[in-house]
């Protein structure tokens, strides 16, 4: 082969050419029914905002796509689908802002996203694109709801919920950040509404236990663990003179002798009967006050918030001491956690201590031997005092013994408590899948029969939410009134739609089966492709999306619909791209629009640049200073390919060893998503090849293969220039040979007392004897030995020799 004339590298031409080829030749469409080695490479699907894909999305998708392409090169049939998480308050609010309808807005946004995703050059199987707003999709979201309902895991209850007065909707606990709505920042209020819940807490222990056997990063698992929040403790029962029982939850039953008063949440159902007549006015006033407080004032502030509370005017008997102690209500006790009542141990709990100090309640220490002095000390490593027969026991010992002792008298039982709450899925909004439930006077709550699914979200003009706490759908009588599926009488529909997180809690099951209209996921396809081989996404979803998806999969397993209970055995979280140290957002005005970069530099350069910015799993600050470095590198590869010569003679040793080292390193880096160092390694290799003046095909082709996941368009073009007829992604990953990688000389560092005093170039595997001989002959080494005899010599093969004198 003779060197060919180098044409100019024109990314736009190359990229559109290969994108067209991939589509025509079905390059990215694996055989879903009979794949040789199936590999489900999943990335978290985007919410199609009106702003289009931003740099952060592109960063995430590029990193995930590189991973998929690498697996493809290793011979897997890689299924890499993409879709749109298109329902939700985001879209609805934006539509309201710009005066349009979400049903008009979303298709436009999706079209723009699709276009951008094409340009980025992802290995997407476009046959299986999906949108959660498609009735063919949300039919099965509703089906999923029905399965949970039938299994007794979906229930309705009147509950205190987080209400956003601006978005006019209920929020899940997870959507409340610092007491504020995660979207608009408005302080969240408490409201009491009938809501649909999923009983995720029933599976709390399982969700926690399974974490141990998932191949996830520790940090992600820790986030989930903390969110689930398991506490071991006991329920203790306190009795009033009238025989009324109050149960509290505590993690420190060993301190029960120090419980000098009881506190109930203001909403606690027993408050009414426990209130003495003379305290009624004060108590009712306090209850009203607590209820009207928004969640910010009630919850945020931790220790800073001044404690408030009211004495009920009545007493209970401490089951351990037999003493009579007062009962109070205070809003620092939450009705949702434990039993909504606590025993207060002011000597050993900060909050109780603050409260007791303020209201002059007795403080009784029952633990000593702790470090540090002042009350309250939260000592669980000391020994008990003032605790009757239990004095002198360690806290840990006392815990079990006291519970056992009280249990004999029916005043205690061990109990595990979770911080996790049931998942509230109701939304009093328009832009979501209607919850498939019908209310009939005669039959009560009637699930919509599966044959009647989907319950189509009607196209209505006045979709704006109002203050009523009722979905806008309720205003549409023709939709609202419906015949009862059981008795045929006039009935009415549930008007709430479901949480967006329900849409995304099963989409990975749908992708391989998008063409089936009569089933949510085809059993054979599901068996072949699931669970997901590798899931790549942002750590911002470490709790919500990932926990909900695990829960729904667990339920589907129990119901016999799938054969596995963990959908994502292997998860990799990428970092977030920020701009000027802050998350990109329209309001901050720091959104980086990637299209201009793709226009100027091409998708391949941009993809690689994003990956070269820093470690993929850490993310970082976006800047564009270094992009020319990547472009220069790709130009060098382009030139190398054009100047390539046929294989002849032996390759230079430096090239051979560097080549095999590079193949090994790039492969290992790709497997662990360390793309920045993989790119650096390829750059080093190109520098070696160029300075060796090597143009041999055997030096160039493996480089092109390694580069393929990063710069797929350019590489396809190069591969064709090199005379190949099929896609480079069927060519296979190059093999490395450790023996060849070890070819050539190594430099050994000679140290005297740990300081570098000389370097020796030796052949690999040289003996210590030879190195010592040469080292001791070295002038600068000799100088530092000062004629003294070595006390000790440390030798590390092929690395260093350290002489200690």
Distance, in Å, from the CA atom of 200 to the CA atom of 197, rounded to the nearest integer, reads 9
Nearer to RNA, 110 or 706 (CB): 706
The reply on whether position 676 binds RNA by CB under 7 A is: yes
Taking the CA atoms of 542, 586, 63 and 658 in sequence, report the sign of the dihedral they define: negative
The SS3 assignment for 111 reads helix
Figure out which of the listed residues 151, 680, 721, 762 binds RNA, where binding follows CB under 7 A: 680
Which strand (E) or helix (H) includes residue 359? helix 350-359
Figure out which of the listed residues 186, 210, 231, 240 binds RNA, where binding follows CB under 7 A: 231
> Closest separation between CB of residue 626 and RNA, Å?
4
What track of x and - describes contact with RNA for positions 364 through 403 (by CB under 7 A)?
Answer: ----------------------------------------
Nearer to RNA, 76 or 249 (CB): 249
Q: Could you tell me how many residues of this chain bind RNA (CB under 7 A)? A: 85
The reply on whether position 342 binds RNA by CB under 7 A is: yes
Distance, in Å, from the CA atom of 398 to the CA atom of 408, rounded to the nearest integer, reads 15
Interface residues for RNA in 304-323 (CB under 7 A)? 305, 307
Interface residues for RNA in 694-753 (CB under 7 A)? 746-747, 749, 751, 753
Taking the CA atoms of 578, 580, 585 and 591 in sequence, report the sign of the dihedral they define: negative
Instruction: List the structure tokens of 113.
Output: 């996203």
Distance, in Å, from the CA atom of 172 to the CA atom of 545, rounded to the nearest integer, reads 12
Interface residues for RNA in 439-498 (CB under 7 A)? none
The reply on whether position 762 binds RNA by CB under 7 A is: no
Instruction: List the structure tokens of 789.
Output: 């005899």
Nearer to RNA, 139 or 415 (CB): 415
For strands 800-804 and 792-796, give the pairing.
antiparallel
Instruction: List the structure tokens of 621.
Output: 């600050």
Can you say how many angstroms the Cα of residue 189 is from the centroid of all Cα atoms in its chain?
Answer: 27
Interface residues for RNA in 194-223 (CB under 7 A)? 218-219, 222-223
> Closest separation between CB of residue 418 and RNA, Å?
8
Residue 711 has phi, psi (to 5 degrees) of -125, 70
Residue 763 has phi, psi (to 5 degrees) of -75, 145
Interface residues for RNA in 249-288 (CB under 7 A)? 249-252, 265
User: In which region does residue 435 sit, left (phi positive, over 0), alpha (psi from -120 to 50) or beta (all else)?
Assistant: beta
Figure out which of the listed residues 625, 650, 738, 786 binds RNA, where binding follows CB under 7 A: 625
The reply on whether position 754 binds RNA by CB under 7 A is: yes
Contacting range for RNA; rule: CB under 7 A; set: 35-43, 391-399, 599-607, 621-629: 621-629
Figure out which of the listed residues 693, 755, 765, 786 binds RNA, where binding follows CB under 7 A: 755
Can you say how many angstroms the Cα of residue 576 is from the centroid of all Cα atoms in its chain?
Answer: 12
> Closest separation between CB of residue 271 and RNA, Å?
14
The reply on whether position 302 binds RNA by CB under 7 A is: yes
> Closest separation between CB of residue 495 and RNA, Å?
29
Contacting range for RNA; rule: CB under 7 A; set: 102-110, 116-124, 205-213, 243-251: 243-251
Task: Give which of 618, 162, 242 is closest to 421, Cα–Cα.
Answer: 162
Distance, in Å, from the CA atom of 191 to the CA atom of 242, rounded to the nearest integer, reads 34
| 3-state SS string for 411-440 | CEEEEEEECCCCEECEECCCCCCECCEEEE
The reply on whether position 763 binds RNA by CB under 7 A is: no
Figure out which of the listed residues 187, 620, 652, 744 binds RNA, where binding follows CB under 7 A: 620
Nearer to RNA, 483 or 690 (CB): 690
Interface residues for RNA in 99-138 (CB under 7 A)? none
Figure out which of the listed residues 317, 636, 697, 698 binds RNA, where binding follows CB under 7 A: 636
What track of x and - describes contact with RNA for positions 416 through 435 (by CB under 7 A)?
Answer: -x-x----------------
Nearer to RNA, 598 or 688 (CB): 688
Distance, in Å, from the CA atom of 534 to the CA atom of 672, rounded to the nearest integer, reads 12
Nearer to RNA, 128 or 550 (CB): 550
DSSP letter, residue 645 = B
Figure out which of the listed residues 206, 299, 464, 642 binds RNA, where binding follows CB under 7 A: 299
Quote the radius of gyration of the chain (alpha carbons, Å).
33
Contacting range for RNA; rule: CB under 7 A; set: 21-29, 334-342, 557-565, 702-710: 334-342
Distance, in Å, from the CA atom of 224 to the CA atom of 541, rounded to the nearest integer, reads 10
Figure out which of the listed residues 332, 479, 507, 551 binds RNA, where binding follows CB under 7 A: 332
Residue 118 has phi, psi (to 5 degrees) of -60, -45
Q: Name the one residue in this structure whose structure tokens are 């530092």.
A: 784
The reply on whether position 229 binds RNA by CB under 7 A is: yes
> Closest separation between CB of residue 383 and RNA, Å?
20
Contacting range for RNA; rule: CB under 7 A; set: 68-76, 92-100, 277-285, 790-798: 790-798
The reply on whether position 668 binds RNA by CB under 7 A is: no
Nearer to RNA, 336 or 466 (CB): 336
Task: Give which of 11, 9, 5, 10 is closest to 642, Cα–Cα.
Answer: 5
Figure out which of the listed residues 756, 763, 767, 773 binds RNA, where binding follows CB under 7 A: 756
Figure out which of the listed residues 402, 637, 683, 705 binds RNA, where binding follows CB under 7 A: 683
Strand order from edge to edge, sheet including 154-164: 169-171, 154-164, 189-198, 423-424
Nearer to RNA, 370 or 419 (CB): 419
Nearer to RNA, 210 or 231 (CB): 231
The reply on whether position 294 binds RNA by CB under 7 A is: no
Interface residues for RNA in 13-52 (CB under 7 A)? none
User: Would you say 240 and 275 are in contact if contact means Cβ atoms under 8 Å apart?
Assistant: no
Nearer to RNA, 32 or 718 (CB): 718
In the chain, the N- to C-terminal Cα span, in Å, equals: 60
DSSP letter, residue 556 = H
What track of x and - describes contact with RNA for positions 59 through 78 (by CB under 7 A)?
Answer: --------------------
Distance, in Å, from the CA atom of 57 to the CA atom of 128, rounded to the nearest integer, reads 20
Distance, in Å, from the CA atom of 525 to the CA atom of 329, rounded to the nearest integer, reads 57
Task: Give which of 24, 166, 40, 14 is closest to 521, Cα–Cα.
Answer: 40
> Closest separation between CB of residue 530 and RNA, Å?
28
Q: In angstroms, what CA-CA distances link 548 with 198, 200, 227?
A: 10, 8, 12
> Closest separation between CB of residue 38 and RNA, Å?
31
DSSP letter, residue 379 = -
Distance, in Å, from the CA atom of 646 to the CA atom of 652, rounded to the nearest integer, reads 15
User: Would you say 83 and 439 are in contact if contact means Cβ atoms under 8 Å apart?
Assistant: no
What track of x and - describes contact with RNA for positions 151 through 190 (by CB under 7 A)?
Answer: ----------------------xx--xx------------
> Closest separation between CB of residue 283 and RNA, Å?
18
Q: In angstroms, what CA-CA distances link 668 with 119, 674, 686, 744?
A: 28, 8, 19, 22
Nearer to RNA, 504 or 662 (CB): 662
Contacting range for RNA; rule: CB under 7 A; set: 33-41, 66-74, 127-135, 675-683: 675-683
Task: Give which of 699, 705, 716 is closest to 604, Cα–Cα.
Answer: 716
Contacting range for RNA; rule: CB under 7 A; set: 14-22, 319-327, 476-484, 669-677: 669-677
Interface residues for RNA in 597-616 (CB under 7 A)? 612-615
Which strand (E) or helix (H) includes residue 205? helix 204-210
């Amino acid at each position: 082969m003779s060197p060919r004339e180098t044409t100019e590298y024109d990314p736009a031409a190359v990229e559109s050419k290969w994108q067209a080829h991939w589509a025509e030749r079905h390059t990215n469409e694996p055989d879903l029914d009979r794949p040789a080695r199936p590999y489900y490479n999943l990335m978290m699907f985007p919410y199609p905002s009106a702003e289009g894909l931003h740099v952060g999305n592109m960063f995430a998708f590029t990193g995930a796509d590189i991973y998929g392409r690498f697996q493809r090169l290793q011979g897997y049939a890689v299924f890499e689908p993409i879709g749109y998480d298109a329902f939700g308050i985001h879209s609805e609010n934006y539509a309201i802002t710009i005066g349009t309808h979400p049903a008009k807005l979303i298709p436009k946004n999706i079209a723009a996203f699709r276009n951008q995703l094409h340009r980025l050059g992802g290995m997407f199987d476009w046959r299986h694109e999906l949108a959660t707003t498609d009735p063919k999709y949300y039919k099965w979201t509703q089906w999923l709801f029905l399965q949970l309902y039938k299994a007794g895991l979906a229930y309705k209850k009147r509950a205190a919920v987080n209400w956003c007065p601006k978005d006019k909707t209920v929020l899940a606990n997870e959507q409340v950040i610092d007491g504020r709505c995660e979207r608009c920042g408005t302080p969240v209020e408490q409201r009491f509404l009938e809501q649909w819940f999923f009983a995720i807490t029933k599976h709390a222990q399982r969700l926690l236990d399974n974490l141990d056997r998932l191949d996830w990063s520790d940090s992600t698992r820790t986030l989930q663990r903390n969110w689930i929040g398991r506490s071991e403790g006991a329920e203790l029962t306190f009795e009033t003179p009238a025989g009324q029982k109050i149960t509290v939850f505590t993690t420190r039953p060993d301190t029960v002798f120090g419980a000098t008063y009881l506190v109930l949440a203001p909403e606690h159902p027993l408050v009414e009967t426990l209130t003495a007549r003379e305290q009624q006015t004060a108590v009712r006033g306090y209850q009203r006050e607590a209820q009207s407080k928004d969640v910010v004032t009630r919850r945020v502030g931790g220790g800073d918030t001044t404690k408030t509370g009211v004495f009920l005017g009545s007493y209970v008997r401490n089951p351990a001491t037999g003493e009579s102690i007062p009962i109070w209500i205070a809003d620092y006790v939450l009705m949702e956690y434990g039993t909504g009542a606590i025993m207060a141990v002011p000597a050993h709990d900060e909050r109780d201590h603050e409260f007791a100090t303020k209201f002059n309640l007795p403080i009784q220490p029952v633990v000593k031997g702790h470090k540090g002095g002042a009350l309250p000390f939260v000592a669980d490593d000391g020994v008990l005092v003032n605790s009757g027969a239990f004095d002198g026991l360690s806290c840990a010992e006392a815990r079990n013994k006291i519970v056992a002792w009280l249990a004999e008298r029916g005043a205690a039982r061990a109990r595990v408590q979770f911080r996790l709450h049931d998942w509230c899925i109701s939304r009093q909004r328009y832009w979501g899948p209607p919850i498939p439930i019908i209310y009939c006077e005669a039959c009560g709550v009637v699930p919509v029969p599966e044959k009647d699914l989907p319950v189509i979200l009607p196209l209505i003009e006045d979709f704006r939410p109002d203050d009523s706490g009722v979905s806008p759908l309720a205003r549409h009588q023709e939709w609202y009134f419906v015949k009862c599926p059981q008795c045929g009488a006039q009935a009415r529909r549930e008007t709430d739609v479901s949480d967006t997180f329900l849409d995304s809690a099963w989409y990975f099951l749908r992708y391989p089966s998008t063409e089936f209209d009569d089933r949510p996921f085809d059993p054979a396809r599901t068996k072949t492709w699931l669970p997901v081989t590798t899931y790549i996404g942002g750590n911002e979803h470490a709790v919500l999306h990932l926990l909900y998806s695990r829960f729904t999969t667990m339920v589907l397993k129990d119901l016999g619909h799938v054969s596995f209970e963990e959908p994502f055995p292997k998860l990799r979280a990428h970092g977030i791209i920020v701009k000027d140290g802050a998350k990109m957002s329209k309001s901050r005005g720091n959104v980086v629009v990637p299209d201009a970069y793709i226009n100027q530099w091409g998708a391949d350069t941009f993809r690689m640049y994003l990956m070269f910015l820093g470690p993929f799993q850490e993310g970082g600050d976006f800047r564009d200073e270094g992009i020319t470095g990547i472009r220069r590198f790709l130009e060098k590869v382009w030139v190398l390919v054009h100047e390539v010569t046929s294989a002849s003679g032996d390759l230079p040793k430096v090239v051979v060893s560097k080549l095999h080292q590079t193949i090994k390193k790039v492969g290992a880096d790709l497997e662990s998503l360390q793309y920045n160092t993989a790119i650096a390694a390829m750059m080093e290799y190109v520098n070696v090849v160029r300075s060796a003046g090597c143009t041999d095909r055997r030096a160039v082709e493996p480089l092109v293969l390694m580069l393929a996941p990063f710069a797929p368009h350019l590489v396809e073009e190069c591969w064709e220039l090199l005379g190949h007829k099929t896609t480079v992604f069927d060519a296979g990953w190059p093999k490395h040979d450790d023996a060849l990688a070890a070819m050539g000389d190594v430099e050994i560092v000679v140290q005297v007392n740990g300081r570098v005093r000389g370097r020796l170039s030796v052949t690999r595997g040289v003996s210590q004897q030879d190195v010592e001989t040469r080292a001791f002959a070295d002038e600068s080494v000799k100088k530092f030995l000062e004629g003294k005899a070595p006390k000790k010599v440390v030798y590390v093969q092929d690395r260093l020799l350290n002489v200690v004198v």
